[in-house]
Amino acid sequence: MKKVKSAILGPGNIGTDLLLKIKKNAKNIEVVLFAGIIDGGLGLELARKMGVPTSIDGVEAILADDSIKIVFEATGAKAHLENAPRYRKAGKIAIDLTPAAVGPYLVPAVNMDANFEGDNFNMVTCGGQATIPMVAAVNQVTPVEYAEIVATIASKSAGPGTRANIDEFTQTTAKALVTVGGAKKARAIILLNPAEPPIMMRNTVYCRVQHPERLEKIRESVDRMAEHVRQYVPGYRVRLEPIADGDKITLMVEVEGEGAFLPKYAGNLDIITAAAMATGEKIAERLQGISQ
């Protein structure tokens, strides 16, 4: 079947990693345009070497090409807020890797099928992609009254966008832990660790639950969910199996990056590009179905 044409806006770390992932692994989509607004970056150079068409006319270049059906937005929240209505008008589906949250939060392992329709999908945050499946897995066994997650990432893997608005990370993640993860209330914390060699992304998930005695069932549910996530994020691992302490369940997951463009420790970036690609693949299936 013919691949669905897509474009990536934002040739930074995230955009470039996504490009390499799609080139290497995608079955249903291809990247026909890799666009930015400033020339000279490593990402654009790499794309040219691989023979991927590039542009420095940003969103205009994407809108000018009617064959592009899916746009991956790897810029910033502000840019996506401006671009989203234009994509919609042009009949393009947006997969948003910024915290803009124009469309619903999407975590492939949890709510992909529920959001099969629609034209704008938000990828939450890296911490959200890593922890929401775990909270959802616990919530399937016993209602989660309160979820709290702590994402610790290597300093080197936190880009300028994340650093300039770290509140956006904690607030967006907490919201999605409720709306997608199913917790009644939630908190998120992010920590940056500058140790050398860089640490792997690590996430601790705490849940206050109604039935902590169902620990065995919780463990099974968590393992099943991890397997599900591994289908699109191979380096996703449960590092600490759920343990109970009173009504608190604690578990830890770590994410080793694929090492496509970014180093392996940058599992936080890997998981969000992997989720975006998985979403794109699924949407492409839908589009292919329509065109048939």
Partner 1 sequence: MKDTEMKKIRIIDSTLRDGMHAVSHQFSPDDMAVIAAALDAAGVDTVEIGHGDGQGGSTYQYGFAKASDEDYLRAVSSVLTRSKLDILILPGIGTEPDIELGAKYGAKVVRIATHVTEADIGAQHIAFTKSLGMEAITFLMMAHMAPVEKVVEQAKLFESYGADVVYVTDSAGAMLPSEVAEKVSAVKAAVAIPVGFHAHNNLGLAIGNTLAAVQAGASVVDGCLCGLGAGAGNAQIEVLAAVFDRMHIETGIDLYKIMDAAENEVRPRMRQPLAITKLELSIGWAGVYGSFLLHSIRAGKKFGVDPRDILVELGRLKTVGGQEDLIIDVASRLAAEKEQRKSQTVAGK
Which residues are tagged catalytic? 126
End-to-end CA distance of the chain: 10
What's the rounded Cα separation, in Å, for the pair 232 and 216?
A: 26
Nearest to 183 by CA among 131, 260, 125, 251: 131
Residue 215 CA to residue 291 CA, distance in Å, equals 47
Output the CA–CA distances (angstroms, integers) from residue 92 to 41, 145, 257, 276, in the order listed: 26, 38, 29, 15
CB of 235 to partner 1, least distance (A): 18
Residue 202 to residues 18, 135, 255, 256, Cα–Cα distance (Å) = 21, 15, 7, 9
- Taking the least distance from each CB to partner 1, the nearer of 28 and 204 is 204
Nearer to partner 1, 171 or 288 (CB): 171
Cα distance between residue 11 and residue 43, in whole Å: 5
Q: How far is the CB of 193 from partner 1 (least distance, A)?
A: 5
Helix (H) or strand (E) holding 224: helix 215-230
Scan for tokens 């949407």, then name that residue: 283
Least distance (Å) between residue 165 CB and partner 1:
6
Measured from the CB atom, the residue of 155 and 179 that comes closer to partner 1 is 155
List the strands of the sheet with 248-255, edge to edge.
Answer: 185-193, 144-154, 201-209, 248-255, 236-245
User: Which residues in this chain contact partner 1 in the complex, by CB under 8 A?
Assistant: 148, 150, 152, 155, 158, 160, 163-167, 169-171, 187, 189-195, 202, 204, 206, 208, 239-240, 243, 245, 248, 250, 252
State yes or no: cis peptide before 197, omega within 30 of 0: yes
- Smallest separation, CB 202 to partner 1 (Å): 8
Phi, psi of 60 (to 5 degrees): -60, -40
91 vs 194 by CB, closer to partner 1: 194
The minimum distance between CB 245 and partner 1, in angstroms, equals 8
15 vs 127 by CB, closer to partner 1: 127
